[in-house]
Each structure stands twice: as structure tokens, then as C-alpha cells.
Amino acid sequence: MPREIIILECTEAKAEGKPTSRYVTTRNKKSLRTPGRLEKVKFNPFLQRRTLHRELR
């Protein structure tokens, strides 16, 4: 199967001492465009704004 399930975790919430938000999504294992960890800007409901979420390993 060429896609794998990954978890994205907020990077800014830990610094502020708030709960982190997590999203579950998929990524293409064979893609040459995303060789490292995936980063996306997603909404964090605890901070009430859009923040950077990074892939957990």
C-alpha cells in the first residue's frame, strides 16, 4: 500500500503550556516532494488560531 497513516501534532501549544491538538491524516510513502517530516498549518481549538503541526514518528 503506497499510503501510510501519520499523526500531526501542534508545535506551538507546548511552548505556551496548553494542550496540544492532533490530527490524523495520510501521506504517500513514495512521493519525492515530501522526503522529511510533513508540516501543515492547521487550526488548534485550544489556542483558537491556526498553528504549525508537524508529523510525529
d(CA 50, CA 44): 6
Give strand ranges (E) for the chain.
3-10, 22-28, 39-44, 49-55
Total-model pTM = 0.83
Query: Which bin fits 48, alpha (ψ -120 to 50), beta or left (φ > 0)?
Result: left
3-class secondary structure, 13: helix
- Asked if residues 52 and 14 have their Cβ atoms less than 8 Å apart, the reply is no
- pLDDT tens for the chain, 57 residues long, are 688 999 999 999 988 889 999 999 999 888 888 788 899 999 999 999 999 999 997
| Three-state DSSP class for residue 15 | helix
